[in-house]
Amino acid sequence: MSLDSIDRVAVLGAGNMGHGITEVTAMGGYDVTMRDIKSEFVEDGYESIEWSLQKLEEKELIDESADEVLSRIDTTTDLEEAVADADLVIEAAPEDLDLKHDIFTDLEEYTTEDTLLATNTSSLPISDIAEAVDTPERVLGLHFFNPPVKMDLVEVIYGEDTSDEAAEAGYEWVESVGKTPIYVRKDVRGFVVNTIVGPFGGEPAFMVSNGEATIREADATMAHERGYPMGPFELADLTGIDVGYHVRKEGDSPIPPITEEKVEAEELGQKTGKGFYDYEDGDGADYEPEDAGDFDWLRVEARMINRAAFLVGEDVATPEEVDTGVQLGLGFPEGICRRADKIGLDKVLEKLEELYEETGEDRFEPHPYLEELVAEGKTGEDAGAGFYDYGDAELGPYHDLNYDLEDGLLAIELDRPSRMNALSNDLLAEIDDLLTSVDTDEVRCVTIEGAGDRAFSAGADISGFGDTDPADMMDVTPAFETVNDFPRPVLAKIDGFCLGGGLELALACDLRIATERSSFGAPEIGLGLIPGGGGTQRLTRILGETRAKELVFRGNHIDADRAEDWGLINRSVERDDFDATVEEFVDDLHSGPPIGLKVAKKVMNEGQDASLDAALAMESQGFGLLISTDDVLEGTAAFAEDREPEFEGE
């Protein structure tokens, strides 16, 4: 059982999750059959797929036509027909254990022992579902998130009897359809993501129930001060208050009184018009930054961190998997383990111990793994170790970017794919720190790109600037100037959106290469703002006043071909040619004379702000400085000998 043996897939269920998984499967190049119990369910699901694919095609977000993807999808209401030739079956039926038992009992009869059987359940134990078959080693969880087409994360979950072979095949298949898998190595309730999000919604609800906080205080603090995509009560209204209620009830977990009151009153959130906020007669989730007050955010995050300690300490998932899960599955601004190491695990433990002593509530009891880390002095970043080990890092530690320095190439990756690599204060500070700390003698050139396949960077993370003093925002962002002034050539590798602050970062680079599907824009004017990272000035210098003002004043996007035509980027290339084109540029930069490139960059940058006479004088001085270097001697000799020069930067 391996990825190589998976050619055809069957998806059982045509609802939101079923038709979404079917679409993802077909987009990944697989033949897939979607099955449901009634023809009208199947027809509705297929129509939803058609509509979605047409929209993706219109936006050029898929590499082939909608019709080509649809040609790989079959539909049926006959279960035996659907799974007869399937190598992988993904069950996406309603969350009813008896129903799933019936389905898997039939799958035992209709499939061979080599067929991989997966369930998309979000709340039922994989092991309980696998009880219906005689071969539980081939049963695993593949938990997609809603909507599957947009959400990158898939939890690959072991049941008690799931074989490593089956889990690995599932993991590799998830990667093959362009999603990001994480292993959940034990069949714990809530898996990874829901284990962490439980306290995010539950603890504020207890605090409000006990009169220790208000709904708006909780939401404003967690969204505007702590950077979460929305407050816990707004999130509950969006997903349905009854959903969290039933998950807690099924898990025999305590239910906050305010949650129980809302369910009894059938005020379940947006779907009923009223929940924690009023969406019919009120303004909905209308909390503002000033509503935050003195809400105890550490109490909430300490509980989330304690659950992370449970997952890591019980070998359910690694810190990296936990953090990937909450960032991609929940849109958290950073991983909860990374955030814990920033706060300090000793502070987290102290908070939990105080609450446990005061209340006696089991939910505050510190997990032994958290206690163990603190006892060993592994309290986080400042101590050099916590959930993560920071002791061996030559630079950093960095949470929102990855870097690799090898053979003179410093490759930087903006690593916030769940936020389309939006530029937060932390990410900008890390870019600045890396480029000011690295030994430039070890660097010949730099590349900057975005993680994931959607964006170089879609702009500034507005939520991350909520607690920033406006006076501080009036200063030029150091990161952009650091990139602009770095004494080696910097190349932006752009694939996808390059907007707002992302465009300003690209403008600070010396060279820009983009895929044809990329788009560029300065949309800040739509927020009543202007570019604040040098965009107005660099755009004017690169494009000229007319085109720069068009971008800034209108706030529209332009495609890569127009960007190349305007001179905003150096090349617009097909995705298949992107890496090769970048490599050609990097080879030239890497093999070029380091001192010569440094002087050329400095003279060209500074010459823009000088008179022509002054700029020519700078150029002449630069030429004079270089003429006596060993690199010039090597270049001259290589030219005479008809060979490639080997510059040493001397």
Q: Is the peptide bond before 147 cis (omega within 30 degrees of 0)?
A: yes
Mean pLDDT of 491-520: 95
Cα dist from 308 to 65, 303, 384, whole Å: 42, 9, 19
Confidence of residue 476 (pLDDT cuts 50, 70, 90): very low
> Which pLDDT score, from 0 to 100, does residue 344 have?
96
| Residue 246 or residue 1, greater confidence | 246
Mean pLDDT of 465-486: 65
Average pLDDT, the chain: 90
> Which pLDDT score, from 0 to 100, does residue 524 have?
86
Q: Express as a percent the part of the chain with pLDDT over 90.
A: 71
Q: Express as a percent the part of the chain with pLDDT over 70.
A: 96
Give the CATH number of domain 401-586; options: 3.40.710.10, 1.10.10.10, 3.30.910.20, 3.90.226.10: 3.90.226.10
> Which pLDDT score, from 0 to 100, does residue 2 have?
61
> Which pLDDT score, from 0 to 100, does residue 356 have?
96
pLDDT digits (tens, 9 = 90+) for 327-351: 889 988 889 999 999 999 999 999 9
pLDDT digits (tens, 9 = 90+) for 600-640: 888 888 888 788 888 788 778 877 777 777 877 877 776 88
Cα dist from 193 to 150, 190, 584, 598, 646, whole Å: 17, 7, 42, 47, 52
- CA dihedral sign, ordered 122, 125, 127, 132: negative
> Which pLDDT score, from 0 to 100, does residue 297 have?
97
Catalytic residues, by residue number, are 504, 524
- Does an H or E element contain 244, and which? helix 241-250
pLDDT digits (tens, 9 = 90+) for 385-398: 999 988 755 677 78
> Which pLDDT score, from 0 to 100, does residue 628 have?
77
> Which residues 6+ apart lie within 8 Å of 43 measured at CB?
75
> Which pLDDT score, from 0 to 100, does residue 611 have?
85
pLDDT digits (tens, 9 = 90+) for 268-279: 999 999 999 999
Q: Does pLDDT of 552 surpass 80?
A: yes
Confidence of residue 3 (pLDDT cuts 50, 70, 90): low
Confidence of residue 465 (pLDDT cuts 50, 70, 90): very low
Choose among 498, 492, 493, 496: nearest CA to 460: 498
> Which residues 6+ apart lie within 8 Å of 595 measured at CB?
626, 629, 631, 649, 650
> Which pLDDT score, from 0 to 100, does residue 419 have?
80
d(CA 97, CA 67): 36
Contact indicator for 54, 69 with CB cutoff of 8 Å: no
> Which pLDDT score, from 0 to 100, does residue 472 have?
44
How many residues in the chain?
650
Assigned CATH for 3-187? 3.40.50.720
Q: Does pLDDT of 467 surpass 90?
A: no
For the chain, domain boundaries: 3-187, 202-297, 401-586, 594-641
Mean pLDDT of 348-365: 96
Choose among 374, 397, 344, 411: nearest CA to 582: 411
Q: Which of 114-118, 232-236, 328-332 has the lowest mean pLDDT?
A: 328-332
> Which residues 6+ apart lie within 8 Å of 506 measured at CB?
448, 456, 457, 492, 494, 498, 512
> Which residues 6+ apart lie within 8 Å of 115 measured at CB?
83, 86, 87, 88, 89, 107, 138
Domain 594-641: which topology? Lyase 2-enoyl-coa Hydratase; Chain  A, domain 2 (1.10.12)
Q: Does pLDDT of 463 surpass 60?
A: no
Confidence of residue 198 (pLDDT cuts 50, 70, 90): very high
Confidence of residue 85 (pLDDT cuts 50, 70, 90): very high
Half-sphere exposure of 238 (CA within 13 A, CB side): 11
pLDDT digits (tens, 9 = 90+) for 241-289: 998 888 888 778 899 999 999 999 999 999 999 999 999 999 999 999 9
Pairing of strands 153-158, 139-144: antiparallel
Q: Which residue has the tokens 């964006």?
A: 455
Assigned CATH for 202-297? 1.10.1040.50
Axis-axis angle for helices 368-375, 297-313 (nearest 10):
90
pLDDT digits (tens, 9 = 90+) for 200-225: 999 999 999 999 999 999 999 999 99
Cα dist from 93 to 100, 120, 243, 318, 377, whole Å: 7, 8, 16, 29, 47
Helix intervals (H) in 314-363 = 319-330, 336-343, 345-359
